[in-house]
A and B are shown apart, each in its own frame.
Chain A
Amino acid sequence: MKKVTVFLKTYALPIFAIVAIVLGIAFVNGSKNATSAKAGRTPVVFWHEMGGPAEVALDKMVDDFNKSQNKYEVIPQYQGAYDEAVQKIIQSHGTSASPALFQSFDISTAQIMHSKYITPVQKFIDQDNYDVSDISPVARSFYSNKGQQLAMPFNTSQPVLYYNASLFKKYGVTPPAKSPSYSDVTRAAKALYENSHHKVKGMTMEIYGWLMEEALANAHTSLINNGDGHSGNPTKIDLNNPTTKKFLTWIRTNIKSGDFVNYGSGASAETNEIAAFLANKLGIFVQSSAYIGQLTTGTKNKLGISYFPHPDGVKANGVGIGGAALWISNDKPAKTQRGAWEFIKFAETAKNQANWQKATGYLALNKNSQKTKVLQDIYQKIPAAKVPGEQLASAKPNNTNSGILMEGMQLTRELEETAMEGVYNGQAINSALNTANKAMNANLKTTNKADGR
């Protein structure tokens, strides 16, 4: 017995180290195996950023594709968050580790376009005479430049206004209209707050640059010159415009009357607002349509959905999309690129888009998906789930609702959020917007200088 303890004392650490190394090697080898395709098939490495239920649904889609033909094998690899994935994609370009097909999010479009690391999908659309008219025009226009389709929209959402229909009924308040104006939302939020004797907060709006940009889009206002970057390289940003002021003044009014609750920014804000909404402590919030699933499972409350609000006296222009697109890398042989395109076509079919919407809450982009049984069943169970798709279909693409085609959007968004935070915490609207605007323009100038434009 004593010998054993002595033995353990002397050798425990080396043994542990050896076991760890062996396991490590085994693990590395194991994960390497996953990247090689079956014999006779061209491997198409696919980087994506879908976690949770969306990853399961995506893996199934990939699996279906691989079974549907025997020329290509798509190999999905999860890459973490959107922001970091963009840097990984760009920095690994031209190496053997780089992907042939990748998913990259909305605001990275200009950056990837300028990197010249991709083959625009337009090339394949032309080769195949692929009919794009079935795919949502406002989603397509987000990832195109001067008539050329750069990437195909994939997981797509739109901001919508959610309201707790059961709460509105309980306190006898008329819910917001289908396409509500700012004052209509304020009316509903205030009445809910008062009628519930301050037990229920009326509304919230996450501190999220995307939502502020959508407010501009819906009011047909450009954030940057040259048609939000769609008609030429941007040189000037104008955040401090009347539309932004109207949007922030609207929120300010609600903060002052007490019916507004601020959950801050980031993922925790989204978790908190959903938790409060499901716990009947919040009546209205504006957020991505991808949350419908979470808002309808495990609750008896009836969910209501309206379009993104628009300023009073302004016709709603329709909002842009959020989400991500599928891009084809140009550092792989033609055969591999062809395989990537075949997968994209597969992903955009009516059936696959319908299944995708069912599994994830992202909107089906193919207009024929709406007729499928999968979606008809959902709409029968949750009538409100139809609204985001209707909003998407109703938007006619123009420069202001096709996204902002400018490099450095991540930083721009951050500065927008700092301005929003300032206003939510009592800073004067004009000074908050001016500070952000100055920093944005300085950043744009540096970017243009660094890129020699």
Chain B
Amino acid sequence: MLKSPAQSTPTSPLSVDKTKSKLAEQETKFTLNAKDKYFAWAFLGPSLLILGVFIFYPMIKTLYLSLFLTNTVGKTTVFVGLSNYMNLLTSADYLSSLGVTLFYVFAVTIITIALGLILANLASKRLPGIGLFRTLFSATMGVSVSVAAIFWLFIFNPSTGFLSLVSTWMHLPQIPWLTDPTAAMWAVIITTVWMNLGFTFLILLGAMSAVPTTLYEAANIEGASSRFQFFHITIPSISPTLFFVSLITLIESFKSFGLIDLMTKGGPTNATNMLVYRIYKDAFYSGNYAQASAESIILTIIIALFTLLQFKVLEKRVNY
């Protein structure tokens, strides 16, 4: 860890006191000024209103709904306390959804980052025609979820799909991509990784090209292998970006919905019934708003925990 200049320069206690008192003076002035107060409310008001209506109110309402049972028309009827939560956390079905989601999230994040790093490292070499590969590798950024899903559904089609044709041609056993529980999970993971890869690649490539070339030159003079250079120069230098990309990928995968809806609808045998998709189905298919609300609260807590964990653990290891 580098020391910040502020820590390394000794400051006299007197000057610190002076700035402190100055700041305090400004603060008191600020709180006393009624006009400033008025402006503060005028500027904060609209955003507070919007946040209140669209974020805080729904959040509180969700919490409220999760403590009741809801009837045919979605109105709360019987107060059940935490029993919706207890039912969920003891239901094998929900726990398997949780397990499936965690598996999916980690598989997608790890594979995307690994492939992104490999591709970015290849494309960061200054070679003639590399621009073409950079464009190709980042091309999936422009593909929408629905297009990707339909495209891969064609590839996975058991009778006329590309993969089925290839395996027939090579006399390999057919994989029932979308109907076998294990295969369907991998089908969804492959499609998600394929979709995410363009963005990850581009961000990592940008970070790699910002690493000072002098570091590599020095390493070359020392005779360090390119593998050594990758792990000891590239990775540490791009670690803030790596942290950012992995966080984004992880949280986005938790929220994955479109692909699941279009490719598997949570099946087969709930093998791809992720938490978000489950909430949607329980609320807008089955009309079970109470249970869906409880599921939303649990999901919020999980995502908050992961975000916290990533900031606490990963940020410490980031080499700025």
Contact = CB atoms under 8 A, between A and B. Distances in A.
B263 interface: yes
A260 to B, nearest CB: 12
Contacts of A374: none
Interface in B263-287: 263-265, 267-270, 281-287
Given A87-B287, A451-B72, A262 B77 contact: no
Contacts of B236: none
Given A282-B159, A424-B179, A450 B287 contact: no
B234 interface: no
Contact of B70 (A272, A276, A427, A450): A450
A115 B72 contact: yes
A421 B284 contact: no
Interface string A411-432: 1001001100110110100000
Given A84-B284, A272-B157, A425-B181, A266 B265 contact: yes
Interface string B86-130: 000000010000000000000000000000000000000000000
A233 to B, nearest CB: 12
Interface residues on A, range: 35 or more
Interface residues of B, number: 35
Contacts of B263: 268
A207 B267 contact: yes
Contact of B153 (A83, A268, A425): A268
A282 B159 CA distance: 9
A94 to B, nearest CB: 10
B267 A90 contact: no
Contacts of B265: 265-266
A276 B159 contact: yes
B268 A425 contact: yes
A68 B65 CA distance: 48
A54 interface: no
A261 B179 CA distance: 10
A281 interface: yes
A450 B286 contact: no
Given A262-B179, A266-B267, A425-B180, A87 B71 contact: no
Contacts of B286: 408, 410-411, 414
A266 B69 CA distance: 29
A146 interface: no
B81 interface: no
Contacts of A414: 281, 285-286
B78 interface: yes
A452 B69 CA distance: 11
A207 B70 contact: no
B270 A275 contact: no
Interface string B67-86: 00111111001100000000
A422 B181 CA distance: 9
Contacts of A93: 73
B202 interface: no
A114 interface: yes
28 contacts: A84-B284, A87-B283, A87-B287, A90-B73, A90-B287, A93-B73, A111-B72, A111-B287, A261-B159, A262-B179, A264-B178, A266-B264, A272-B159, A275-B160, A276-B158, A276-B160, A408-B288, A411-B282, A411-B288, A421-B268, A422-B269, A425-B179, A425-B180, A425-B181, A427-B269, A450-B77, A452-B71, A452-B78
Interface of A: 83-84, 86-87, 90-91, 93, 111, 114-115, 117, 207, 261-266, 268, 272, 275-276, 279, 281-282, 407-408, 410-411, 414, 417-418, 421-422, 424-425, 427, 439, 446, 449-452
